[in-house]
């Protein structure tokens, strides 16, 4: 027994003057309690309810459930061996395992390379239950030939090993689909006849997913991608399954090397033949594919159209160049006339603006004169000079448009001295606000 060890650890001391009331700070609070209704659920509750309903004990319920599960499994697996068993297959020699159809032995002919590991496992179990020698003996079948049972075991060994299964799938002729002939395509639907062929070949592709054959609405880019893919097909297909068995005799090493070299050469030859076969298959499909003909026809029509368009474009450019030359000459002529007219108009406008400005200035200066320069009685020379100085100052700070506006307001004010002075005062304030005049720069307004 391990002795108990006591470790003395002292807690850190609190700082001097620390108190819970002063130094402790709460960072959160507990939420209020919530009342909820809970319902019993789950497999354990269902099992309890089932036992109570049928008045069963734990062991009795488990036994009955196990029987139910076994029966259900057998019913689910019935579809896997629904294929009739060929008497020739049942009597075949187990030693010739390379020549047997492993999928047919397990009853998976309709699945073949598409069969899942679970389907293979279930099919093997059903075949074993049916053909196991012990079960046959129990049923009164005294035939001690267990050759087919060995075939079942060998098929399971091959199909449950990913590498061995791939080797067998590489040479599985029963999974191949014969390509249609030209006559077949003329009588039937091109896509319906060729689609299964490429689907069967696609299982050998290292690149997944594989481009589809498409239909009448396939675009040129999709069709070009499809044929490029198949003309450059990268296949994982191997042919080791057909290798000649290498002797295990370690003494005859030369014979072993000879067989290995022979097998390697045979694989390369079959690989080359398979590549050639697939290329011919794609060639035949392309030759029968009306979409390629339609795209080529459209390409030729487009080429002719572009040529005619190019010729028409050249002719149009010549005509446009001549037209542009004439238009340029006319434009220059019109521009010269317009410039001449514009200069005359600007001259007239300038003179008119100048005359208007002179007139408005006379109105501005006349407005103060009409009200006797805001003097009570006769205005002195100093007062007249002061008022006119302010008027000239304001006139120098405003443009022609503001000058016209001010003249209009002074005309409206008439000979009312107060009104005239008020107009001048408002204009002075506006100029001060606009920073065109300084505060107090005008003496009168």
Q: How far apart, in whole angstroms, are the C-alpha atoms of residue 194 and residue 290?
A: 13
Average pLDDT over residues 292-316: 91
Q: Is the pLDDT of residue 74 over 60?
A: no
Measured on CA atoms in the order 394, 399, 403, 406, is the torsion positive or negative? negative
Q: Is the pLDDT of residue 188 over 90?
A: no
* 105-111: long-range contacts, CB 8 A cutoff, minimum separation 24: 105/148, 105/151, 105/152, 105/155, 106/80, 106/152, 106/155, 106/156, 106/159, 107/80, 107/81, 107/82, 107/83, 108/80, 109/83, 109/174, 110/83
pTM: predicted TM-score of the whole model, two decimal places: 0.53
Q: For a pLDDT cut of 90, what percent of the chain falls above it?
A: 39
Average pLDDT over residues 57-67: 83
Q: Is the pLDDT of residue 78 over 60?
A: no
Average pLDDT over residues 80-91: 74
pLDDT digits (tens, 9 = 90+) for 216-245: 999 999 999 999 999 999 999 989 999 888
CA–CA distances in Å: residue 34 to residues 30, 37, 38, 113, 233: 12, 10, 12, 58, 66
Average pLDDT over residues 49-60: 88
Q: How far is residue 346 CA from its own chain's centroid? A: 64
pLDDT digits (tens, 9 = 90+) for 8-40: 777 777 777 777 777 777 777 888 888 888 777
DSSP conformation class of 211: P
SS3 59: helix
DSSP conformation class of 237: -
Looking at residue 1, its pLDDT comes to 45
Weakest-pLDDT range from 137-151, 220-234, 334-348, 417-431: 137-151
SS3 205: strand
Phi/psi at 235 (nearest 5 deg)? Answer: -100, 140
Q: How far apart, in whole angstroms, are the C-alpha atoms of residue 395 and residue 387?
A: 12
pLDDT digits (tens, 9 = 90+) for 143-182: 556 888 899 999 999 999 999 999 999 999 989 999 999 8
| Cβ atoms within 10 Å of 166's Cβ, excluding its own | 16
- Among the listed residues 10, 30, 14, the one whose alpha carbon sits nearest the alpha carbon of residue 22: 14
Q: Is the pLDDT of residue 287 over 60?
A: yes
Q: How far apart, in whole angstroms, are the C-alpha atoms of residue 297 and residue 301?
A: 6
Q: How far apart, in whole angstroms, are the C-alpha atoms of residue 262 and residue 252?
A: 16
Say if CB 441 and CB 387 are below 8 A apart: no
Q: How far apart, in whole angstroms, are the C-alpha atoms of residue 384 and residue 374?
A: 9
- Among the listed residues 350, 359, 342, 438, the one whose alpha carbon sits nearest the alpha carbon of residue 404: 359
Q: How far apart, in whole angstroms, are the C-alpha atoms of residue 21 and residue 76?
A: 72
Q: Is the pLDDT of residue 252 over 80?
A: no
Q: How far apart, in whole angstroms, are the C-alpha atoms of residue 255 and residue 251?
A: 9
Q: For a pLDDT cut of 70, what percent of the chain falls above it?
A: 93
Average pLDDT, the chain: 85
Average pLDDT over residues 202-227: 94
Domains delineated in the chain: 77-172 (1.10.287.110), 176-288 (no CATH)
């Amino acid at each position: 027994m391990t002795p108990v060890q006591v470790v003395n650890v002292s807690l850190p001391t609190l700082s001097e003057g620390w108190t819970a009331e002063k130094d402790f700070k709460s960072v959160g609070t507990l939420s209020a309690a919530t009342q909820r209704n809970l319902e019993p659920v789950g497999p354990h509750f269902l099992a309890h309810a089932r036992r109570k309903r049928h008045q069963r004990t734990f062991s009795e319920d488990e036994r009955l459930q196990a029987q139910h599960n076994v029966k259900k499994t057998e019913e689910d697996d019935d579809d896997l061996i629904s294929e009739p068993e060929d008497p020739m297959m049942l009597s075949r020699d187990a030693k010739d395992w390379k020549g047997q159809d492993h999928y047919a032995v397990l009853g998976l002919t309709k699945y073949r390379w598409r069969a899942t590991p679970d389907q293979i496992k279930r099919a093997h179990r059903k075949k074993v239950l049916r053909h196991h020698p012990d079960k046959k003996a129990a049923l009164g079948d005294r035939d001690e030939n267990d050759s087919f049972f060995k075939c079942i075991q060998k098929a399971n060994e091959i199909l449950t090993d990913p590498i061995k299964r791939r080797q067998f799938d590489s040479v599985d002729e029963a999974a191949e689909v014969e390509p249609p002939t030209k006559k077949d395509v003329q009588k039937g639907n091109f896509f319906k006849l060729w689609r299964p062929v490429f689907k069967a070949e696609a299982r050998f592709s290292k690149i997944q997913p594989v481009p589809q054959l498409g239909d009448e609405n396939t675009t040129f880019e999709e069709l070009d991608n499809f044929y490029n893919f198949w003309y450059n097909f990268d296949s994982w297909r191997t042919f080791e399954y057909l290798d000649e068995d290498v002797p295990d005799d370690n003494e005859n090493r030369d014979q072993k090397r000879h067989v290995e070299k022979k097998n390697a050469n045979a694989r390369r030859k079959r690989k080359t033949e398979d590549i050639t076969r697939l290329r011919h298959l794609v060639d035949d499909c392309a030759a029968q594919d009306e979409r390629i003909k339609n795209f080529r026809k459209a390409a030729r029509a487009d080429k002719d159209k572009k040529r005619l368009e190019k010729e028409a474009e050249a002719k149009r450019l010549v005509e446009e160049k001549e037209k542009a030359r004439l238009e340029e000459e006319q434009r220059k002529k019109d521009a010269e006339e317009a410039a001449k007219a514009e200069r005359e108009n600007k001259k007239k406008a300038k003179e008119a603006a100048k005359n208007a400005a002179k007139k408005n200035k006379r109105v501005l200066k006349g407005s103060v004169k009409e009200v006797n320069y805001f003097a009570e009685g006769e205005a002195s020379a100093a007062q007249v000079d002061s008022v006119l100085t302010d008027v000239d100052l304001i006139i120098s700070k405003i443009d022609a448009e503001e000058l016209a506006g001010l003249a209009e307001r002074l005309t409206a004010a008439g000979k009312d001295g107060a009104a005239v002075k008020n107009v001048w005062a408002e204009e002075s304030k506006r100029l001060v606000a606009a920073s065109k005049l300084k505060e107090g720069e005008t003496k009168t307004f």
